[in-house]
Amino acid sequence: MPATTQTPPPPPRIAIAGIAIESSTFTPYRSGAADFEVRRGTAEILDRYPFEVPEAEYVGVLHARALPGGELEREVYEGWKAEITGGLAAAHAEAPLDGFFFDVHGAMSVVGLEDAEGDLLAALRAVIGPDVVVGTAMDLHGNVSEDLFEGCDLMTCYRHAPHIDAWETRERGLRDLVEAAARVRDGGARPHKALVHVPILSPGEKTSTRIEPARSLYARIPELARRDGVTDVSCWIGFAWADQPRCKAAIVAHGDGAEAVQQAALELATALWEVRHEFEFVAPTGGFDDCLDRAIASSARPFWISDSGDNPGAGGADDTTHCLARLAARPEIRNGEVSALMVSLVDPASADAAWAAGIGGRLDVQVGGRIDSRDPGPVPVTVEVEALDDSGPPGRAAARGCWTAPPGPG
């Protein structure tokens, strides 16, 4: 009898959607639709990934991404949630989905919600059902709530801070999802998974993976992930700039062996707990006046001072004026003995005024304190416009040289 050839099964059908933002709950700014880059449809969403996606039939619904900001306006979130839910329902009705890639950051906050990603995933699970395999790839400064963990079959996160492996992580997460979705569709077992919450919360300035103890802690992950029965192990530091119960460290592992997965998660969680008191800031710290004293007295140039409390990279308003006022008050800066560059401060009104004045123009402006108006509020300065730039978001920018400034506090 002639040999028969079996037709290989078709590739799995995978949907992609998500809302990605890192949201500080300590800023009065509210992020809205204008702060996001929104992609719709399969072609636009796949074009987001700078790697070759694994073979699958992809269905892109909606992906919205923003730079770090404040809590997302509830009505914007609900609108996108309804659009994603409707799109997934339609796709699943057209032909059953095998997998869903939940492309999020993990530290989104929405006005009135304490677990935005958990809420969104619960709504999506309601329309795709419990059988679809769900995977996600997140920032290690995201948060893993119980609801998010329960809704996902596969979870992974970055292994480096600074985040040099963001796209590598998404590629790993999508690859593992496609493989698991095909296996489950063809009658295989769902992955085993384990979550261990560690009750600590440290800011990014204390948890860089380039220094100890995080460097050695994260260096253990590849060995754990190579063990028989283990596919991936991840360590979330959590997000320090949101006041929510879900904000804490978390270890998640998944793979084919239930005992191996549980053991790997427990080992890494124990290692994290044992070094919890060893995390230190990556640089010397102090109050701003103390740092300014050291900068002026030092012979090192440039001498950098970072205001991590209003860190725009973690969603700060970037227009608080405490540092500007203290700079303007220093006689060494006012008399030209020391020059100071403040980078950056968000103030569209002052930037527009500088554009109107043009390069070389001099003007009196009230700078900052328009989003976050805590003391000292807007600072009056007289400036000379040195440069103008409108090359990219979030808007027009101006570089201004302070040539006179009124006395600041103290």
Low-confidence ranges of the chain (pLDDT < 50): 403-410
Nearest-5° Cα angle at 109, 104 to 110: 110
| pLDDT the model gives residue 405 | 46
Residue 383: per-residue pLDDT? 86
- 10 Å Cβ neighbour count for 24? 25
In this structure, are strands 13-20 and 57-66 parallel, antiparallel, or unpaired?
parallel
Residue 7 confidence (pLDDT): 84
Residue 382 burial (CB count, 10 A)? 14
* pLDDT (0 to 100) of residue 396: 75
Q: Cα angle vertex 71, ends 369, 146, to 5°?
A: 145
Q: Which two tokens stand for residue 42?
A: 């399969």
Q: What is the pLDDT of residue 274?
A: 98
Q: Are strands 99-102 and 133-138 parallel, antiparallel or unpaired?
A: parallel
Phi, psi of 409 (to 5 degrees): -65, 145
Structure tokens at 320: 């608080």
Task: Map residue 18 onto helix, strand or coil.
Answer: strand
pLDDT of amino acid 403: 44
- Rounded Cα gap, residues 58 and 269, in angstroms: 35
Contacts of 390 by beta carbon, 8 Å cutoff, 6+ apart: 396, 397
Q: Check residue 3 and give its pLDDT.
A: 61
Position 394 scores a pLDDT of: 62
Question: Which pLDDT score is estimated for 307?
Answer: 81
